[in-house]
Amino acid sequence: MTALISKPDFPKNFTWGVATSAFQIEGASNTDGKGPSIWDDFCRVPGTIADASDGVVACDHYHLWESDLDLITDLGVDAYRFSISWPRVQPLGSGAFNEAGFAFYERLVDGMIARGLKPYLTLNHWDLPSALQAQGGWANRDTVQHFVTYAGEVARRLGDRVTSICTHNEPWVVAVLGHEVGNFAPGIKSRAVMLQVAHHLLLSHGMALTALRAQGCKASLGIVLNMSHTQAATESEADKEQARLDDGKGLRWYVDPLLKGEYPADVLEHFGTDAPRVLPGDMELIAAPLDFLGVNYYFRCMASAGAPWDINASGHDITDMGWEVYPPGLTALLVRLHRDYSLPPILITENGAAFQDEMVDAQVHDVRRQSYIASHIAAVREAMQQGVVVDGYFVWSLLDNFEWASGYEKRFGIVRVDYDTQQRTLKDSALWYRGFLEARP
Ligand code: IFM
């Protein structure tokens, strides 16, 4: 597959990058005035994290940021997608800002610019300040206004230097895994709460965009959604209906409000009395124009009304997360979005795979990860050939890191991290990506 694509197949101004998030790599969870986040708290609850780990040290990026930026530069990418830890810059999520926290991100952003890297900033990659959770977190409408204030302060300090600002990373995950399934922070299990949380996340996104534009922020503004290509497992009417509902709950519930200003009627009916409380004007605020829509794609979903679909019978490779490797799903997803919506430019803000790696003679021959990335880049190109406007692609992830409830057991990095020594080693996938990016037109 690697031979089939080359960088010249993409437009000259296409942005190539790598991505991380604050809680997953920074560590320094209690340093220089940082406040606690819901993930700091969640990690302390016995049984929540597979290897009983936490984000206290992680990849120690808070201290190793300079050499990590050198590493990114060495890969030859154009851009680095990172997130701000809200409690690092505003320990209680409201009130006073933490100068030392902001100083870290100022150094980081300036360090990117000095190296010719474009900063792609995310405001919320899940680490809500604990003090806000104590007041109900995202289920409390007051959090919306706190987020808008936080976003405004970040944009005031960094907005002139960053290329892009994303409000939320994967609101579905925060809502569903955090508040319905409960296997992610803050560990709540209620469908009604989940729906109110999702609404407040979308509302805070739209209000933040409007506020940032009003204060003259020039960065490209948008949101990042996790999306799948959902297919019926069989041709049966029941499976087709299940696919429509699954797609409605996972994709349309987020994309419709953002791009059409309404919740999908069929899904609203399905949720019944659990539907969120929506105040007059909310939907217009949510539908604030997007400069970009970020797509995080990892796998296809097969919907079945009966027995669960047998992934092992698919014949496709399966990652360490138990996710099917299915690049045509990315093409199908993008083409479908293009067909069903009036889209802003798309960014593939995350794409990558967890596999168990072996270090042999200081090398990691991660053939499956390399093939995953190459085949998905080819799938993006295929969608572009079919008319979809895609402006960039970011590998998830730069580094092996804290994979949430899976702890450090799952490795997504194209760079291996030895957690005992913090040594970084470029895996073959990183070397391949670098070689791919070197092929200038
Ligand atoms: O590690 C996560 C990331 O934080 C959000 N998107 C999915 C990745 C892999 O699970």
Per residue, what are the HEC states of 213-244? HHCCCCCEEEEEEECCEEEECCCCHHHHHHHH
User: Which pair of tokens denotes residue 135?
Assistant: 């007041």
Whole-angstrom Cα distance, residue 218 to residue 336? 30
Whole-angstrom Cα distance, residue 51 to residue 220? 38
Strand partners, 57: none
349 lines ligand 1 (CB under 6 A): no
Which residue in 170, 180, 324, 382 is the catalytic one?
A: 170
Query: Under a CB-based contact definition with an 8 Å cutoff, are residues 40 and 86 in contact?
Result: no
E strand or H helix that includes residue 83: strand 79-83
Whole-angstrom Cα distance, residue 337 to residue 288? 18
54 lines ligand 1 (CB under 6 A): no
Which residue stretches of the chain have pLDDT < 50?
1-3
247 lines ligand 1 (CB under 6 A): no
At residue 46, φ and ψ (nearest 5 deg) are -55, 135
Confidence (pLDDT) at 7: 72
Whole-angstrom Cα distance, residue 19 to residue 228? 19
Distance 403 CA to ligand 1 centre (A): 7
Whole-angstrom Cα distance, residue 283 to residue 437? 41
Confidence (pLDDT) at 131: 99
Distance 428 CA to ligand 1 centre (A): 21
Nearest ligand 1 atom, CA 226: 6
Residue nearest to atom 2 of ligand 1 (CA): 403
Nearest ligand 1 atom, CA 24: 4
> For residues 109, 111, 115 and 117, what is the CA-based torsion angle, rounded to 10 degrees?
-20
pLDDT in tens, 380-439: 999 999 999 999 999 999 999 999 999 999 999 999 999 999 999 999 999 999 999 998
User: Which pair of tokens denotes residue 23?
Assistant: 């809680």
408 lines ligand 1 (CB under 6 A): no
> For residues 258, 263, 267 and 271, what is the CA-based torsion angle, rounded to 10 degrees?
110
Pocket test for ligand 1, best of 297, 347, 373, 397 (most atoms within 8 A of CB): 397
Confidence (pLDDT) at 2: 45
Residue type, 80: Y
- Known catalytic residue at 170: yes
- If one counts every other C-beta atom within 10 angstroms of the C-beta of residue 286, the result is 27
Residue nearest to atom 4 of ligand 1 (CA): 21
350 lines ligand 1 (CB under 6 A): yes
Distance 236 CA to ligand 1 centre (A): 33
Distance 279 CA to ligand 1 centre (A): 32
Pocket test for ligand 1, best of 170, 223, 395, 411 (most atoms within 8 A of CB): 170
Distance 273 CA to ligand 1 centre (A): 31
Confidence (pLDDT) at 439: 83
Pocket test for ligand 1, best of 396, 402, 417 (most atoms within 8 A of CB): 396
Distance 169 CA to ligand 1 centre (A): 9
Strands 292-296 and 346-350: parallel
170 lines ligand 1 (CB under 6 A): yes
Distance 298 CA to ligand 1 centre (A): 9
Which residue in 26, 180, 324, 350 is the catalytic one?
A: 350
403 lines ligand 1 (CB under 6 A): yes
User: Which pair of tokens denotes residue 143?
Assistant: 């959090």
Whole-angstrom Cα distance, residue 57 to residue 60? 5
Confidence (pLDDT) at 5: 78
Distance 319 CA to ligand 1 centre (A): 14
Query: Under a CB-based contact definition with an 8 Å cutoff, are residues 30 and 61 in contact?
Result: no
The full set of domains in the chain, from first to last, is: 2-438 (3.20.20.80)
Nearest ligand 1 atom, CA 352: 9
133 lines ligand 1 (CB under 6 A): no
Instruction: Tell me which residue of 295, 315, 432 sits closest to 374, measured CA to CA.
Output: 432
Query: Under a CB-based contact definition with an 8 Å cutoff, are residues 315 and 366 in contact?
Result: no
Residue nearest to atom 10 of ligand 1 (CA): 403
Query: Under a CB-based contact definition with an 8 Å cutoff, are residues 248 and 266 in contact?
Result: yes
Residue with structure tokens 């809680």? 23
Q: Counting every residue, how long is the chain?
A: 441
Instruction: Tell me which residue of 348, 336, 231 sits closest to 297, measured CA to CA.
Output: 348
Confidence (pLDDT) at 1: 43
